[in-house]
Amino acid sequence: MKRSLAIIFSMVLVFSLLPTVYGAAPTAKENYYSVLFTTESIPKDFEQQVKSLGGKIAYSVPEIGFVQVKAPATAFTKLKGFAGVSAASPSITWDLPKSQRIEEGVKTTTTTKGKKDTATTTAAASLWGKQWDIKRITNNGESYKLGTGSHDVVVGIIDTGIDRDHPDLVKNLLPGSKNFVPPGGFRDTEANETGDPNKFDDVHGHGSHVAGSIAGKGAMLGVAPDTGIRSYRVFGTSSAESAWIFEAMIAAADDGVDVLSMSLGGFDVIGQIFSVDPATGEKTNLGSDIADFKAYKRVVNYVTKKGSLIVAAAGNDGINATNKSGVTDFLNKEYGGDGLYFVGAGFEVPGTLPGVISVSATGPKDVLANYSNYGPGFIDIAAVGGDARLYDRYASEGRFSEYLAQRLFETEFNLSASEDGGWYWSIGTSMATPKVSATAALLIDKYGKMSPDKLEDLLYKKGVDPVTGTEQAYFGNGNLNAYNALR
Protein backbone atom coordinates (compact mmCIF):
# COMPACT_ATOMS: atom_id res chain seq x y z
CA MET A 1 0.00 0.00 0.00
CA LYS A 2 1.31 3.43 -0.87
CA ARG A 3 1.63 5.72 2.13
CA SER A 4 1.85 9.09 0.43
CA LEU A 5 1.87 10.60 -3.05
CA ALA A 6 0.87 13.97 -4.44
CA ILE A 7 -0.71 13.67 -7.88
CA ILE A 8 -2.26 16.58 -9.68
CA PHE A 9 -3.68 15.53 -13.03
CA SER A 10 -5.92 12.50 -13.51
CA MET A 11 -6.27 10.81 -16.88
CA VAL A 12 -8.26 8.00 -18.43
CA LEU A 13 -9.47 5.01 -16.38
CA VAL A 14 -10.25 1.60 -17.81
CA PHE A 15 -10.87 -2.01 -16.89
CA SER A 16 -7.79 -4.18 -16.63
CA LEU A 17 -8.25 -6.82 -19.33
CA LEU A 18 -6.21 -7.95 -22.31
CA PRO A 19 -5.62 -6.14 -24.54
CA THR A 20 -5.55 -2.78 -22.80
CA VAL A 21 -7.83 -0.33 -24.58
CA TYR A 22 -8.17 3.26 -23.43
CA GLY A 23 -11.26 5.33 -23.92
CA ALA A 24 -11.51 8.89 -25.08
CA ALA A 25 -9.91 11.41 -22.76
CA PRO A 26 -11.75 14.62 -21.91
CA THR A 27 -11.57 17.30 -24.58
CA ALA A 28 -12.52 20.96 -24.71
CA LYS A 29 -15.82 20.10 -26.42
CA GLU A 30 -17.15 17.95 -23.61
CA ASN A 31 -20.03 19.41 -21.67
CA TYR A 32 -19.88 17.15 -18.62
CA TYR A 33 -17.82 18.56 -15.76
CA SER A 34 -16.68 17.24 -12.39
CA VAL A 35 -16.82 19.63 -9.46
CA LEU A 36 -15.26 19.06 -6.03
CA PHE A 37 -16.01 21.40 -3.15
CA THR A 38 -13.62 22.54 -0.45
CA THR A 39 -15.77 20.82 2.18
CA GLU A 40 -17.27 17.35 2.00
CA SER A 41 -20.73 18.68 1.32
CA ILE A 42 -22.62 20.34 -1.53
CA PRO A 43 -23.67 24.00 -1.09
CA LYS A 44 -27.44 24.42 -0.95
CA ASP A 45 -27.49 27.06 -3.68
CA PHE A 46 -25.20 25.23 -6.10
CA GLU A 47 -27.98 23.60 -8.10
CA GLN A 48 -29.59 26.98 -8.74
CA GLN A 49 -26.21 28.42 -9.72
CA VAL A 50 -25.76 25.66 -12.27
CA LYS A 51 -29.22 26.29 -13.68
CA SER A 52 -28.34 29.95 -14.11
CA LEU A 53 -25.57 28.83 -16.49
CA GLY A 54 -27.98 26.72 -18.53
CA GLY A 55 -26.84 23.48 -16.96
CA LYS A 56 -27.99 20.82 -14.51
CA ILE A 57 -26.56 18.41 -11.97
CA ALA A 58 -26.19 15.01 -13.65
CA TYR A 59 -24.97 13.02 -10.60
CA SER A 60 -23.93 13.84 -7.07
CA VAL A 61 -21.88 12.15 -4.37
CA PRO A 62 -22.70 14.23 -1.29
CA GLU A 63 -20.59 12.11 1.07
CA ILE A 64 -17.42 13.64 -0.39
CA GLY A 65 -18.73 16.94 -1.75
CA PHE A 66 -18.62 15.95 -5.43
CA VAL A 67 -21.01 16.54 -8.33
CA GLN A 68 -21.05 15.99 -12.05
CA VAL A 69 -22.55 18.85 -14.02
CA LYS A 70 -23.90 18.93 -17.55
CA ALA A 71 -23.49 22.44 -18.94
CA PRO A 72 -22.51 24.38 -22.07
CA ALA A 73 -18.78 24.63 -22.65
CA THR A 74 -19.02 28.39 -22.29
CA ALA A 75 -20.10 27.90 -18.65
CA PHE A 76 -16.95 26.11 -17.53
CA THR A 77 -14.94 29.18 -16.51
CA LYS A 78 -17.79 30.52 -14.38
CA LEU A 79 -18.35 27.08 -12.89
CA LYS A 80 -14.76 26.95 -11.67
CA GLY A 81 -15.16 30.35 -10.06
CA PHE A 82 -18.18 29.60 -7.87
CA ALA A 83 -17.63 30.05 -4.15
CA GLY A 84 -16.72 26.85 -2.37
CA VAL A 85 -15.40 25.07 -5.48
CA SER A 86 -12.05 23.39 -4.83
CA ALA A 87 -11.58 21.93 -8.31
CA ALA A 88 -13.53 21.65 -11.55
CA SER A 89 -12.54 19.90 -14.76
CA PRO A 90 -13.96 17.93 -17.70
CA SER A 91 -15.29 14.63 -16.38
CA ILE A 92 -13.19 11.52 -16.78
CA THR A 93 -15.01 8.53 -18.25
CA TRP A 94 -14.26 4.84 -17.80
CA ASP A 95 -14.45 2.61 -20.88
CA LEU A 96 -15.08 -1.09 -21.18
CA PRO A 97 -12.19 -2.79 -22.97
CA LYS A 98 -12.34 -4.82 -26.13
CA SER A 99 -11.33 -7.83 -24.09
CA GLN A 100 -10.14 -11.18 -25.34
CA ARG A 101 -12.27 -14.02 -24.06
CA ILE A 102 -12.43 -17.63 -25.08
CA GLU A 103 -15.63 -19.50 -24.33
CA GLU A 104 -15.55 -22.79 -22.48
CA GLY A 105 -17.87 -25.01 -24.46
CA VAL A 106 -18.13 -27.77 -21.87
CA LYS A 107 -21.65 -28.27 -20.59
CA THR A 108 -21.63 -29.33 -16.98
CA THR A 109 -23.67 -29.05 -13.82
CA THR A 110 -22.68 -28.83 -10.19
CA THR A 111 -23.06 -31.92 -8.04
CA THR A 112 -24.49 -29.84 -5.21
CA LYS A 113 -27.38 -28.28 -7.13
CA GLY A 114 -30.57 -28.48 -5.14
CA LYS A 115 -28.76 -29.73 -2.06
CA LYS A 116 -27.49 -28.11 1.09
CA ASP A 117 -23.93 -26.83 1.01
CA THR A 118 -21.42 -29.54 1.69
CA ALA A 119 -17.74 -29.48 2.50
CA THR A 120 -15.68 -28.10 -0.35
CA THR A 121 -13.98 -30.89 -2.25
CA THR A 122 -12.14 -30.64 -5.51
CA ALA A 123 -13.60 -33.99 -6.56
CA ALA A 124 -17.08 -32.42 -6.67
CA ALA A 125 -15.96 -29.62 -8.97
CA SER A 126 -16.07 -30.92 -12.53
CA LEU A 127 -13.92 -28.08 -13.91
CA TRP A 128 -11.25 -28.29 -11.22
CA GLY A 129 -8.82 -30.02 -13.55
CA LYS A 130 -8.77 -26.90 -15.75
CA GLN A 131 -8.16 -24.43 -12.91
CA TRP A 132 -4.37 -24.34 -12.86
CA ASP A 133 -4.43 -20.81 -11.47
CA ILE A 134 -6.55 -21.64 -8.42
CA LYS A 135 -4.52 -24.79 -7.87
CA ARG A 136 -1.37 -22.68 -7.65
CA ILE A 137 -2.82 -20.31 -5.08
CA THR A 138 -4.50 -22.99 -2.94
CA ASN A 139 -1.63 -25.50 -3.09
CA ASN A 140 -3.69 -27.85 -5.22
CA GLY A 141 -6.73 -27.39 -2.99
CA GLU A 142 -4.95 -28.03 0.31
CA SER A 143 -5.97 -24.59 1.62
CA TYR A 144 -9.62 -25.69 1.51
CA LYS A 145 -8.88 -28.10 4.34
CA LEU A 146 -7.78 -25.13 6.46
CA GLY A 147 -10.50 -22.65 5.57
CA THR A 148 -12.92 -21.69 2.83
CA GLY A 149 -14.34 -18.52 4.32
CA SER A 150 -17.85 -17.77 5.54
CA HIS A 151 -20.68 -15.33 5.04
CA ASP A 152 -19.47 -13.42 8.08
CA VAL A 153 -16.96 -11.84 5.67
CA VAL A 154 -18.03 -10.01 2.51
CA VAL A 155 -16.10 -9.02 -0.60
CA GLY A 156 -17.69 -6.18 -2.56
CA ILE A 157 -17.09 -6.38 -6.32
CA ILE A 158 -17.04 -2.97 -8.07
CA ASP A 159 -17.55 -4.10 -11.62
CA THR A 160 -20.02 -4.91 -14.42
CA GLY A 161 -22.48 -6.71 -12.17
CA ILE A 162 -22.96 -10.41 -11.62
CA ASP A 163 -24.97 -13.34 -12.94
CA ARG A 164 -27.28 -13.66 -9.95
CA ASP A 165 -28.51 -17.09 -11.07
CA HIS A 166 -25.16 -18.65 -11.90
CA PRO A 167 -25.04 -22.08 -10.17
CA ASP A 168 -21.42 -21.50 -9.12
CA LEU A 169 -22.10 -18.05 -7.64
CA VAL A 170 -25.59 -18.12 -6.19
CA LYS A 171 -24.59 -19.91 -2.97
CA ASN A 172 -22.39 -17.02 -1.86
CA LEU A 173 -24.22 -14.04 -3.35
CA LEU A 174 -25.58 -12.17 -0.35
CA PRO A 175 -28.53 -9.76 -0.32
CA GLY A 176 -27.76 -6.11 -0.92
CA SER A 177 -26.15 -5.98 -4.37
CA LYS A 178 -26.82 -2.67 -6.11
CA ASN A 179 -26.76 -0.95 -9.47
CA PHE A 180 -25.29 2.55 -9.85
CA VAL A 181 -25.88 3.05 -13.57
CA PRO A 182 -28.51 5.82 -13.79
CA PRO A 183 -31.51 6.03 -16.15
CA GLY A 184 -30.31 6.28 -19.71
CA GLY A 185 -26.90 4.86 -18.86
CA PHE A 186 -23.82 6.63 -20.09
CA ARG A 187 -24.82 10.14 -21.13
CA ASP A 188 -28.28 8.97 -22.19
CA THR A 189 -26.93 6.52 -24.79
CA GLU A 190 -28.25 3.31 -23.18
CA ALA A 191 -32.03 3.25 -23.42
CA ASN A 192 -32.23 -0.12 -21.66
CA GLU A 193 -30.77 1.34 -18.46
CA THR A 194 -33.64 2.25 -16.14
CA GLY A 195 -31.67 3.26 -13.07
CA ASP A 196 -33.31 0.46 -11.07
CA PRO A 197 -30.97 -0.08 -8.08
CA ASN A 198 -31.83 -3.79 -8.12
CA LYS A 199 -30.74 -4.22 -11.75
CA PHE A 200 -27.24 -5.50 -11.01
CA ASP A 201 -27.25 -8.29 -13.60
CA ASP A 202 -24.02 -8.65 -15.57
CA VAL A 203 -24.35 -8.01 -19.31
CA HIS A 204 -20.61 -8.02 -20.00
CA GLY A 205 -19.11 -11.01 -18.18
CA HIS A 206 -16.20 -9.32 -16.44
CA GLY A 207 -17.88 -9.02 -13.04
CA SER A 208 -19.05 -12.62 -13.01
CA HIS A 209 -15.58 -13.84 -13.95
CA VAL A 210 -14.10 -11.87 -11.06
CA ALA A 211 -16.76 -13.22 -8.68
CA GLY A 212 -15.99 -16.82 -9.66
CA SER A 213 -12.31 -16.40 -8.82
CA ILE A 214 -13.28 -15.12 -5.39
CA ALA A 215 -16.12 -17.35 -4.28
CA GLY A 216 -17.08 -19.81 -7.01
CA LYS A 217 -18.50 -23.03 -5.63
CA GLY A 218 -19.86 -25.63 -8.00
CA ALA A 219 -18.37 -26.85 -11.25
CA MET A 220 -15.49 -24.45 -10.56
CA LEU A 221 -14.01 -23.27 -7.27
CA GLY A 222 -12.79 -19.87 -6.18
CA VAL A 223 -10.01 -19.14 -3.72
CA ALA A 224 -12.55 -18.67 -0.91
CA PRO A 225 -15.54 -20.81 -1.97
CA ASP A 226 -17.68 -20.09 1.10
CA THR A 227 -17.04 -16.35 1.37
CA GLY A 228 -19.87 -13.87 0.94
CA ILE A 229 -19.88 -11.64 -2.12
CA ARG A 230 -21.91 -8.61 -3.11
CA SER A 231 -22.02 -6.86 -6.48
CA TYR A 232 -21.91 -3.11 -7.05
CA ARG A 233 -22.58 -2.58 -10.75
CA VAL A 234 -21.08 0.53 -12.35
CA PHE A 235 -21.08 -0.53 -16.00
CA GLY A 236 -23.62 -1.51 -18.58
CA THR A 237 -22.41 -2.08 -22.12
CA SER A 238 -20.88 1.36 -22.59
CA SER A 239 -18.74 3.78 -20.61
CA ALA A 240 -19.22 4.88 -17.02
CA GLU A 241 -18.68 8.06 -15.04
CA SER A 242 -16.25 8.47 -12.17
CA ALA A 243 -19.15 9.55 -9.94
CA TRP A 244 -20.80 6.15 -10.27
CA ILE A 245 -17.60 4.41 -9.18
CA PHE A 246 -17.22 6.75 -6.22
CA GLU A 247 -20.79 6.24 -5.05
CA ALA A 248 -20.47 2.45 -5.39
CA MET A 249 -17.30 2.41 -3.28
CA ILE A 250 -18.95 4.54 -0.60
CA ALA A 251 -22.07 2.37 -0.58
CA ALA A 252 -19.99 -0.78 -0.23
CA ALA A 253 -18.11 0.71 2.73
CA ASP A 254 -21.38 1.85 4.31
CA ASP A 255 -22.71 -1.69 3.86
CA GLY A 256 -19.82 -2.97 5.96
CA VAL A 257 -18.05 -4.77 3.12
CA ASP A 258 -14.70 -6.07 4.36
CA VAL A 259 -12.77 -6.00 1.08
CA LEU A 260 -13.42 -4.04 -2.12
CA SER A 261 -12.22 -5.88 -5.21
CA MET A 262 -11.59 -3.40 -8.02
CA SER A 263 -10.23 -4.70 -11.30
CA LEU A 264 -9.74 -1.14 -12.52
CA GLY A 265 -6.78 0.96 -13.59
CA GLY A 266 -5.61 4.05 -15.43
CA PHE A 267 -3.14 6.90 -15.30
CA ASP A 268 -2.57 10.33 -13.80
CA VAL A 269 -0.17 13.00 -15.03
CA ILE A 270 1.50 15.63 -12.90
CA GLY A 271 1.66 18.44 -15.40
CA GLN A 272 -0.50 19.58 -18.31
CA ILE A 273 -2.70 17.96 -20.91
CA PHE A 274 -3.43 19.68 -24.20
CA SER A 275 -5.97 18.97 -26.92
CA VAL A 276 -6.20 20.15 -30.51
CA ASP A 277 -9.59 20.28 -32.19
CA PRO A 278 -9.09 18.30 -35.44
CA ALA A 279 -11.69 20.42 -37.23
CA THR A 280 -10.62 23.93 -36.22
CA GLY A 281 -7.05 23.40 -35.05
CA GLU A 282 -7.90 25.25 -31.85
CA LYS A 283 -5.50 24.36 -29.05
CA THR A 284 -6.89 23.95 -25.56
CA ASN A 285 -5.00 23.57 -22.31
CA LEU A 286 -7.07 21.12 -20.24
CA GLY A 287 -5.27 22.29 -17.12
CA SER A 288 -3.87 20.48 -14.14
CA ASP A 289 -6.58 20.84 -11.52
CA ILE A 290 -8.56 17.63 -11.89
CA ALA A 291 -11.58 17.18 -9.66
CA ASP A 292 -11.99 13.46 -10.37
CA PHE A 293 -8.61 12.54 -8.95
CA LYS A 294 -8.96 14.65 -5.82
CA ALA A 295 -12.39 13.12 -5.31
CA TYR A 296 -10.92 9.64 -5.75
CA LYS A 297 -8.53 10.33 -2.88
CA ARG A 298 -11.44 11.40 -0.68
CA VAL A 299 -13.32 8.23 -1.53
CA VAL A 300 -10.35 6.02 -0.66
CA ASN A 301 -9.99 7.82 2.67
CA TYR A 302 -13.72 7.40 3.32
CA VAL A 303 -13.63 3.68 2.54
CA THR A 304 -10.55 2.88 4.60
CA LYS A 305 -11.84 4.83 7.60
CA LYS A 306 -14.98 2.70 7.41
CA GLY A 307 -12.75 -0.37 7.70
CA SER A 308 -12.73 -1.72 4.14
CA LEU A 309 -9.55 -2.84 2.39
CA ILE A 310 -9.22 -1.82 -1.28
CA VAL A 311 -7.49 -4.17 -3.74
CA ALA A 312 -6.94 -2.95 -7.31
CA ALA A 313 -5.38 -4.11 -10.56
CA ALA A 314 -1.99 -2.71 -11.60
CA GLY A 315 -2.89 -2.58 -15.29
CA ASN A 316 -2.06 -4.46 -18.47
CA ASP A 317 0.23 -2.16 -20.42
CA GLY A 318 3.47 -4.05 -19.86
CA ILE A 319 5.25 -0.93 -18.64
CA ASN A 320 7.31 0.11 -15.65
CA ALA A 321 4.74 2.28 -13.89
CA THR A 322 7.37 3.94 -11.71
CA ASN A 323 9.20 5.31 -14.75
CA LYS A 324 7.33 8.61 -14.78
CA SER A 325 8.67 9.88 -18.09
CA GLY A 326 8.09 6.44 -19.60
CA VAL A 327 4.45 6.49 -18.55
CA THR A 328 4.03 9.94 -20.09
CA ASP A 329 5.65 8.74 -23.32
CA PHE A 330 3.25 5.79 -23.31
CA LEU A 331 0.25 8.13 -22.95
CA ASN A 332 1.49 10.34 -25.76
CA LYS A 333 1.83 7.31 -27.99
CA GLU A 334 -1.64 6.06 -27.09
CA TYR A 335 -3.41 9.39 -27.53
CA GLY A 336 -1.33 11.23 -30.08
CA GLY A 337 -3.76 10.27 -32.82
CA ASP A 338 -6.62 11.77 -30.82
CA GLY A 339 -5.04 15.22 -30.77
CA LEU A 340 -3.93 14.90 -27.16
CA TYR A 341 -0.45 15.31 -25.73
CA PHE A 342 0.98 15.37 -22.25
CA VAL A 343 3.73 17.23 -20.46
CA GLY A 344 4.80 16.06 -17.03
CA ALA A 345 5.17 12.85 -15.03
CA GLY A 346 2.75 9.94 -15.34
CA PHE A 347 1.44 7.67 -12.57
CA GLU A 348 -0.88 4.65 -12.52
CA VAL A 349 -4.08 4.92 -10.48
CA PRO A 350 -5.65 3.83 -8.22
CA GLY A 351 -2.69 1.63 -7.29
CA THR A 352 -0.50 4.58 -6.34
CA LEU A 353 -3.11 6.08 -4.01
CA PRO A 354 -2.62 5.71 -0.26
CA GLY A 355 -4.89 2.96 1.00
CA VAL A 356 -4.89 0.78 -2.15
CA ILE A 357 -3.15 -2.57 -2.71
CA SER A 358 -1.75 -2.77 -6.25
CA VAL A 359 -1.72 -6.26 -7.84
CA SER A 360 0.48 -7.45 -10.70
CA ALA A 361 -0.25 -10.62 -12.66
CA THR A 362 1.78 -13.78 -13.16
CA GLY A 363 1.49 -16.64 -15.57
CA PRO A 364 2.56 -20.28 -15.22
CA LYS A 365 5.56 -20.87 -12.96
CA ASP A 366 5.19 -17.46 -11.28
CA VAL A 367 6.70 -15.55 -14.20
CA LEU A 368 5.44 -11.97 -14.58
CA ALA A 369 2.72 -11.93 -17.23
CA ASN A 370 3.91 -10.40 -20.48
CA TYR A 371 1.21 -7.71 -20.29
CA SER A 372 1.40 -6.83 -16.59
CA ASN A 373 2.53 -3.44 -15.35
CA TYR A 374 5.31 -3.47 -12.78
CA GLY A 375 7.67 -1.18 -10.91
CA PRO A 376 9.58 -0.93 -7.62
CA GLY A 377 7.47 0.68 -4.92
CA PHE A 378 4.36 0.39 -7.09
CA ILE A 379 3.52 -3.31 -7.00
CA ASP A 380 2.41 -4.54 -3.57
CA ILE A 381 1.68 -8.19 -4.35
CA ALA A 382 1.48 -10.56 -7.32
CA ALA A 383 -1.14 -13.18 -8.12
CA VAL A 384 -1.88 -15.57 -10.96
CA GLY A 385 -3.76 -13.76 -13.71
CA GLY A 386 -2.69 -15.76 -16.74
CA ASP A 387 -0.26 -15.05 -19.56
CA ALA A 388 -0.43 -14.35 -23.31
CA ARG A 389 2.92 -15.50 -24.60
CA LEU A 390 1.57 -18.43 -26.58
CA TYR A 391 -1.52 -16.46 -27.57
CA ASP A 392 0.60 -13.63 -28.98
CA ARG A 393 3.03 -15.96 -30.73
CA TYR A 394 0.40 -18.03 -32.51
CA ALA A 395 -1.57 -14.91 -33.46
CA SER A 396 1.52 -13.19 -34.90
CA GLU A 397 2.42 -16.32 -36.89
CA GLY A 398 -1.07 -16.59 -38.37
CA ARG A 399 -1.67 -19.87 -36.52
CA PHE A 400 -4.37 -18.76 -34.12
CA SER A 401 -6.74 -21.47 -35.30
CA GLU A 402 -4.14 -24.00 -34.13
CA TYR A 403 -3.97 -22.27 -30.77
CA LEU A 404 -7.71 -22.72 -30.36
CA ALA A 405 -7.87 -26.24 -31.81
CA GLN A 406 -5.13 -27.50 -29.51
CA ARG A 407 -6.76 -25.63 -26.57
CA LEU A 408 -3.42 -24.09 -25.69
CA PHE A 409 -5.29 -21.33 -23.87
CA GLU A 410 -5.91 -23.86 -21.10
CA THR A 411 -2.22 -23.65 -20.24
CA GLU A 412 -2.08 -19.87 -19.84
CA PHE A 413 -5.61 -18.37 -19.56
CA ASN A 414 -7.80 -18.48 -16.42
CA LEU A 415 -11.23 -20.11 -16.36
CA SER A 416 -14.11 -18.61 -14.42
CA ALA A 417 -17.83 -17.84 -14.51
CA SER A 418 -19.57 -15.95 -17.30
CA GLU A 419 -22.67 -13.75 -17.37
CA ASP A 420 -24.88 -16.45 -18.91
CA GLY A 421 -24.51 -19.38 -16.52
CA GLY A 422 -21.44 -20.76 -18.25
CA TRP A 423 -17.68 -20.16 -18.09
CA TYR A 424 -15.00 -18.49 -20.18
CA TRP A 425 -11.25 -18.07 -20.27
CA SER A 426 -9.55 -14.72 -19.84
CA ILE A 427 -6.36 -13.11 -18.57
CA GLY A 428 -5.27 -9.86 -16.99
CA THR A 429 -4.46 -8.14 -13.74
CA SER A 430 -8.26 -8.15 -13.48
CA MET A 431 -8.03 -11.90 -12.98
CA ALA A 432 -5.21 -11.59 -10.42
CA THR A 433 -6.89 -8.96 -8.25
CA PRO A 434 -9.92 -10.98 -7.04
CA LYS A 435 -7.64 -13.77 -5.82
CA VAL A 436 -5.86 -11.33 -3.53
CA SER A 437 -9.24 -10.02 -2.36
CA ALA A 438 -10.37 -13.57 -1.59
CA THR A 439 -7.23 -14.38 0.40
CA ALA A 440 -7.67 -11.20 2.44
CA ALA A 441 -11.22 -12.37 3.19
CA LEU A 442 -9.90 -15.74 4.35
CA LEU A 443 -7.54 -13.98 6.76
CA ILE A 444 -10.42 -11.99 8.24
CA ASP A 445 -12.47 -15.15 8.65
CA LYS A 446 -9.62 -16.85 10.49
CA TYR A 447 -8.29 -13.98 12.62
CA GLY A 448 -11.32 -11.73 12.99
CA LYS A 449 -12.11 -8.18 11.91
CA MET A 450 -9.18 -5.79 11.81
CA SER A 451 -8.20 -2.44 10.33
CA PRO A 452 -7.25 -2.30 6.64
CA ASP A 453 -3.64 -1.51 7.59
CA LYS A 454 -3.39 -4.54 9.87
CA LEU A 455 -5.05 -6.77 7.30
CA GLU A 456 -2.64 -5.63 4.64
CA ASP A 457 0.35 -6.29 6.87
CA LEU A 458 -0.99 -9.75 7.75
CA LEU A 459 -1.50 -10.53 4.07
CA TYR A 460 2.13 -9.73 3.29
CA LYS A 461 3.38 -11.57 6.36
CA LYS A 462 1.42 -14.81 5.95
CA GLY A 463 -0.21 -14.85 2.51
CA VAL A 464 2.73 -14.82 0.11
CA ASP A 465 5.75 -16.68 -1.08
CA PRO A 466 8.12 -13.79 -0.29
CA VAL A 467 10.58 -12.31 -2.73
CA THR A 468 13.52 -9.98 -2.26
CA GLY A 469 15.78 -7.67 -4.21
CA THR A 470 15.01 -6.89 -7.82
CA GLU A 471 12.06 -9.32 -7.86
CA GLN A 472 10.10 -6.88 -5.72
CA ALA A 473 9.68 -4.63 -8.75
CA TYR A 474 7.56 -7.37 -10.32
CA PHE A 475 5.99 -9.15 -7.35
CA GLY A 476 6.02 -6.61 -4.51
CA ASN A 477 5.99 -8.46 -1.20
CA GLY A 478 5.65 -11.80 -2.97
CA ASN A 479 3.43 -14.21 -4.87
CA LEU A 480 -0.01 -14.84 -3.41
CA ASN A 481 -0.38 -18.12 -1.50
CA ALA A 482 -3.70 -18.78 0.25
CA TYR A 483 -2.39 -22.02 1.74
CA ASN A 484 0.40 -20.13 3.51
CA ALA A 485 -2.13 -17.57 4.73
CA LEU A 486 -4.14 -20.22 6.58
CA ARG A 487 -1.36 -22.40 7.96
Q: Is 202 a catalytic residue?
A: no
Catalytic residue check, 166: no
List the catalytic residue out of 95, 133, 159, 317: 159
Of 16, 208, 372, 430, the catalytic one is 430
The 3-state secondary structure of the chain reads: CECCCCCCEEEEEEECCCCCCCCCCCCCCCCEEEEEECCCCCCCCHHHHHHHCCCEEEEEEHHHCEEEEECCHHHHHHHHCCCCEEEEEECCEEECCCCCCEECCCCCCCCCCCCCCCCCCHHHCCCHHHCHHHHHHHCCCHHHHCCCCCCCCEEEEEECCECCCCCCCCCCECCCCEECCCCCCHHHCCCCCCCCCCCCECCCCHHHHHHHHHHCECCCECCCCCCEEEEEECCCCCCEEHHHHHHHHHHHHHCCCCEEEECEEEEEEEEEEEEECCCCCCEEECCCCCHHHHHHHHHHHHHHHCCCEEEEECCCCCCECCCHHHHHHHHHHHHHHHCEEEEEEEEEECCCCECEEEEEEECHHHCECCCCCECCCCCCEEEECCCCHHHHHHHHCCCHHHHHHCCHHHHCCEEEECCCCCEEEECCHHHHHHHHHHHHHHHHHHHCCCCHHHHHHHHHHHCEEECCHHHHHHHECEEECHHHHHC
Q: Which of 34, 60, 168, 206 is catalytic?
A: 206
Tell me, yes or no, if 396 is annotated catalytic: no
Catalytic machinery residues: 159, 206, 430
